[in-house]
Amino acid sequence: MSEPNLLLEKDGPCAIITFNNPKALNALTMASFDQLEQMLEALEKDAAVRVVILTGAGDRAFIAGGDIKHLATLDVESARTLALLAQRVLNRIETFPKPVIAAVNGFALGGGCELAMACDLRIAAETARFGQPEVKLGIIPGFAGTQRLVRLVGKGKAKELIFTGEMIDAEEACRIGLVNKVVPVASLLDEARQMAGLMADKSASAIALAKEAIDNGLEMDFDRASRFEADLFALCFATADSREGLAAFVEKRPANFR
């Protein structure tokens, strides 16, 4: 399943989705969101796919933001429609039952930064640049950037980045917790694949439940979140993976998760 501006490649248990409009710095459009949503729906049903990587074509940008020419045509209602569409698709990434890794090359600005933040993990090339420059256009982040950024880097740093609209480099993004790892440009996808490989041979059901515990628990008070974790921990014991994993440990052999 592929489209000219959004490409899908499968590499063993890993699926790689590439935003493929480098002339426009892979800017997001309504069509981009529609195509991404369709791809995610298909990949969720594909049992052979265990991890998804999102990246951008070319060496200049992961995603440099939204389509500014399109934004310039919006009124109040159409702007809200766009924001809700984008938020729905980014929520789809965030709640996807399989790990999603952003391999960020070049600019990740505006909607591109927001999309990267919806992923579980972010690996950045040394040349990557992050920012929410919307205030320079007289608008604010609209794809839940004000909400995800503060949860990742804290209230003060999120306000600094959003209020100034300034970019930060990959090392600073890593220092403040926006990025998990910074790597040389040439090894970006290899590093993403390697990280994906560390997850692909683990229990898919356990990873999905751990993701649910972390993401949903973050929105609860500690006691309620802990009880929620206990419920999901208990649910693990209804799975074939838990029986296999525990038996493999006792029998001193590698687990064969199916």
Specify whether 37 is catalytic: no
Taking the model in full, what pTM does it have? 0.95
Q: Considering the domain 6-200, what is its CATH architecture? A: Alpha-Beta Complex (3.90)
Whether the Cβ atoms of residue 188 and residue 125 lie closer than 8 Å to each other: yes
In the three-class reduction of DSSP (H, G, I as helix; E, B as strand; rest coil), residue 25 is classed as coil
Q: Where in the chain is the domain with CATH 1.10.12.10?
A: 204-250
Indicate the pairing of strand 51-56 with strand 61-63.
Answer: unpaired
- Please tell me the predicted confidence (pLDDT) of residue 3: 47
- Degrees to nearest 5, angle at CA 121 with 105 and 3: 55
* Count of Cβ atoms closer than 10 Å to residue 248 Cβ: 14
- Please tell me the predicted confidence (pLDDT) of residue 258: 83
Specify whether 114 is catalytic: yes
- Please tell me the predicted confidence (pLDDT) of residue 4: 63
- The active-site residue, picked from 94, 134, 166, 219, is 134
- Degrees to nearest 5, angle at CA 13 with 10 and 14: 55
- The active-site residue, picked from 3, 41, 77, 114, is 114
Instruction: Return the CA Rg of the chain.
Output: 19
The answer as to CATH 1.10.12.10 being correct for domain 204-250 is yes
Divide the 258 residues of the chain into consecutive groups of 10 and give the mean pLDDT of each group.
76 96 94 96 96 96 93 96 97 97 97 98 98 98 98 98 98 98 97 97 96 96 98 97 97 93
Q: Where in the chain is the domain with CATH 3.90.226.10?
A: 6-200
CA–CA gap between residue 152 and residue 210 (Å, rounded): 18
